Structure 1
């Protein structure tokens, strides 16, 4: 498929004005309006919603709002087919050199990975970069990590067929997008947000279970299971509330800076009981309420190091998660797998985790 004349005209106009753009005289909004909107129109996207579709089914969502680290950010473009987001594009002004811009790459990858997207684009029109968003973020990442395609605007003409095959609505519907991911994605170190989160909460369960069993010798196996489940559920619930703007960001994180972490965490749980009035936080008898209050977890002894490990893993830079972005169905799938295992106590009161008997018998959840 040859490049449309509209794209060739964009390349020519950019080339002519490039020295001026590099002096900073072209901001991101202008770039999007004058270059990227026409570029994506040429790929076949209804950038202006000329079809007058409802918000849920618009092909292109502009300035898609999300909350990242307690602040509302906006993704420049979200591209959707049948209402389902397929990839996003983050735009930068021409003066930004994207090839080595780690912050721009991490911004794109963090959102896309948490949203469960396979590929996404980072561009300032002059540079076009495609990232494999199945790769979770790591501290040692560079701007090139998970980047599977990179080329300048001068190559748009010869690469147009490949761009359109993968990123046009028609190409996505024909399966070329998914095929490109399977063929070109990084083969090692990939893990979806569901796999990574499941791995983390399973590690936290074992860490908590062993510490609770060690420091609270009189507990039964059932009590250890109940306590561990409640503590993890409460921490994750409050952390999700932070990312979604319901709780102040880093409220939990602030509790991990000093000693006596669990006592302060329990105080936060009691405040949540007053605020949410839910079964997850229920510590005292209430008139007309049949649920049995939790008198177990407030009495536990838990080492600071254990809680600090769990809490810090839920915040940047140790955490790759943006809970305002992770779809509810992914969290549900993770918990389905998580609840398929149970904590067992040995004769010496050491805790281990194994599949529930009914799960083993069925061959999995």
Structure 2
């Protein structure tokens, strides 16, 4: 990412007075979207995009009482403590290296990866990617603090799940992963019985997942997680119509974990894979359509576009989920991923 203009820091500073949600539970996607816009050469459009998004922002809620290292467990998963958690992580990342804070809190937060409809982990992934690949600045460090604070406030473990017949033996994860294996795992996820209502009502119905994505070591975990992101991105091309906005998270949530792995101790990678699989499978179960879309002869015609052209199309479309999904599709980078990104532009309503 080349941001010699300082646009990203300016945008983050504008946003850090805002809370991570609006209307009580809808997520503020702006920090994630502006990071993707800047990364893919759309910095000149960022402030104009923010001006139009401003109506969807709310001020950071009032704080209650400070969270400390001694009493944080009482506040975990309490959305009323969003501001308290943001301030806690601001202090933590100011006093200690951000990688140290992340490594300490990642295993604490990982069981609640589906909380906030997976948005907190996605925001964390964008923040970590910036810190790993660009200069560390105060606004970028604060962005990680607010992402982690949002995750802590919305932390919500999934129900206890029964493992279905494994697609690969739990003790012998494949050493040469293929996208087909992850795709088969996602296809085998049973949909929740009642596909009405919001994501919290749907996730409460989860009972079982295929056992997939266990890894004996860090390298296998990385390979399998890459495979999962690829498969979930590809799957959007044929299944995104089930719920075009929500199903992007089946790919963007595990990709956030994949982006974060380089900043984490390697011993945390296998557990990160398991959590990413749970998040992707949960979203798939909640919103998967009864039938995939029929493949048309013209399904891949837009993959003649370059990756840059596909992202330009998403940026012009303006929808925050579409921008973030296209950002993930560009990470995957193959023709079907780019076709899935174009499909997201077609399925989701323009932002403004």
TM-score under structure 1 normalisation? 0.24
Q: Which has the higher strand share?
A: 1
The higher radius of gyration belongs to 1
TM-score for the superposition, normalised by structure 2: 0.25
**Greater helix proportion:** 2
